[in-house]
């Protein structure tokens, strides 16, 4: 379901390195959140850095939330355009955002309840896709080639890191948790499980489609599902993938739609975010279209000199800065 890009032989190693880096970043985020358990990063950044610099930090997170929501919305639309190419992409984008807007109006608890239902479906679909492809796997394609040293694998891991870095949403969602004492363990376990999924999916893609698949294929795991054929009886189960993909996109779009509108409310000092729901959706709608003129632009968006240049400092650099400054303030 995720694009693992560029590294021909060490793609699975990159998944492991990405997980390790993600765990380090997750520990940093949750440590910062635990210091201000009743506030979001939009609020306590102003206390730590001062009003104006703190508001600038809050604005960067609002922009990040809008970017992630717009990417997830467009990615959802692009997949269905593969199946229904005559349908305008704006139709898919509009429908997904209307659903996300409705869920955002209902509140975070409704989004969490939806996740309780959809996440098991997502994991079930991934497991089925992997297990039923076992006969198609050629594990020799997983040969580890480090002739150029560890640098290529590490660079590929950093490219994938922003995907795990969306755990930065915890810096906004943390005050809403009913039980905060287990937050660190829960977040790190979640990142570890996501890393395991990335690892398993990456080796499945390479071993089924070939070592070049991460470079030349679009929606690689979708094509992995199309390879399933057990005795001419179990085949053509791509709808299971579509359900999983749609569920993932729905959760990402809805979560960051809600986070963006609620963050704007806090940043502006408003008491109600309801008037912000439709304007936030309109911004995401426009961004999802103008930022990505084509599917290739959507893929290219995740290069280190594009989204990585924005995401990595916001996901890991700013929390580290806030933690250090807050620690120094407390000592003084």
Q: Mean pLDDT: which of 105-114, 130-139, 207-216 is highest? A: 105-114
**Helix, strand or coil, per DSSP, at residue 230:** strand
**Is it the case that residue 148 has pLDDT exceeding 60?**
no
Bridge partners of residue 235, in order along the sequence: 229
Average pLDDT over residues 30-40: 87
pTM for the structure as a whole:
0.84
Which has more pLDDT, 297 or 74? Answer: 74
Highest mean pLDDT among 1-5, 23-27, 205-209: 23-27
Say how many CA atoms lie within 13 Å of 217 toward its Cβ: 21
State which of 11-15, 113-117, 147-151 shows the largest mean pLDDT: 113-117
pLDDT score at 330: 82
| Assigned CATH for 11-331 | 1.20.1740.10
Position 313 pLDDT exceeds 90: no
For residues 179 and 61, the model is more confident at 61
234-235 and 229-230: which strand pairing? antiparallel
Mean pLDDT of 204-233: 67
Contacts of 253 (CB under 8 A, 6+ apart): 69, 72, 73, 76, 96, 97, 100, 284
pLDDT greater than 90 at residue 113:
no
Q: How does pLDDT run across 122-138, given as a tens digit for each residue?
A: 888 888 888 887 887 77
């Amino acid at each position: 379901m995720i694009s693992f890009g560029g590294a021909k032989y060490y793609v699975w190693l990159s998944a492991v390195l990405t997980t390790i880096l993600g765990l380090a970043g997750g520990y940093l985020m949750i440590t910062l959140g635990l210091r201000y358990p009743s506030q979001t990063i939009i609020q306590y950044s102003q206390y730590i850095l001062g009003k104006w610099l703190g508001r600038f930090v809050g604005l960067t997170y609002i922009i990040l939330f809008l970017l992630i929501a717009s990417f997830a919305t467009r990615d959802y639309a692009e997949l269905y355009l593969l199946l229904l190419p005559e349908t305008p992409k704006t139709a898919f984008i509009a429908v997904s955002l209307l659903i996300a807007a409705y869920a955002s109006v209902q509140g975070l608890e409704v989004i969490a309840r939806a996740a309780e239902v959809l996440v098991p479906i997502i994991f079930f679909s991934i497991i089925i896709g992997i297990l039923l492809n076992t006969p198609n796997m050629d594990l020799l394609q997983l040969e580890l080639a480090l002739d150029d040293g560890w640098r290529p694998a590490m660079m590929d891991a950093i490219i994938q890191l922003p995907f795990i870095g969306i755990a930065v949403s915890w810096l906004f969602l943390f005050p809403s948790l009913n039980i905060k004492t287990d937050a660190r363990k829960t977040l790190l376990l979640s990142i570890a499980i996501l890393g395991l999924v990335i690892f398993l999916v990456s080796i499945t893609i390479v071993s089924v489609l070939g070592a070049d698949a991460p470079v030349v294929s679009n929606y690689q795991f979708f094509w992995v599902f199309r390879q399933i054929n057990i005795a001419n009886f179990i085949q053509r189960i791509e709808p299971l993938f579509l359900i999983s993909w749609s569920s993932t996109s729905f959760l990402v779009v809805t979560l960051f739609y809600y986070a963006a509108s609620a963050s704007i409310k806090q940043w502006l000092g408003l008491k109600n975010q309801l008037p912000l729901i439709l304007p936030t959706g309109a911004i995401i709608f426009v961004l999802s279209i103008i930022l990505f003129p084509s599917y290739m632009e959507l893929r290219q968006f995740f290069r280190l000199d594009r989204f990585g240049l924005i995401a990595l400092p916001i996901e890991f650099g700013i929390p580290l800065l806030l933690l250090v400054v807050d620690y120094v303030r407390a000592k003084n």
